[in-house]
Amino acid sequence: MSNESIVDYWNFHYPPETKVQLTNDDGAIEETQTRSVAWLLGDGTPVVKVDGRAGGYLLERIRPVRAFSPDDICKGVYPCKVKVIRTCGNCGEQFPGIVEYANLHLSADPEDYIRQLDAHRETHNNFEGWGVNWACV
């Protein structure tokens, strides 16, 4: 999976304020939460901002405590379908998708959706990112 796909996958599943565990330089594990979407540094390294740290923290050293769940937006109605609309930051084209959850776990494979996003991103020389909206359907 490309670093761009890793960032898209992370942002698709884990919005800002997701509770995470990070691994410090000394190997100690600390619980905190994200405070941004993930992005790529100039060298292509995936990072995300977390509480208690300045700048971006390496995404490879971050693990979600729990996945983004329908409980966060659906008040606990299961199974749940969540409509996600990503809007291209360059041209404004929208890419709607449906993600299904059952018992707090993703039950629909988003790979086709991620491939569609990757293909669109490649049409822009200087891609500016995605805007994301979520809603229950």
Domain ranges of the chain: 3-64, 71-136
* pLDDT band (50, 70, 90) for residue 8: confident
The pLDDT value given to residue 32: 92
Whole-angstrom distance, CA of residue 54 vs CA of residue 35: 11
pLDDT 10s digits, 17-68: 888 889 988 989 999 999 999 999 999 999 999 998 988 999 999 988 754 4
To the question of domain 3-64 being in CATH 2.60.40, the answer is no
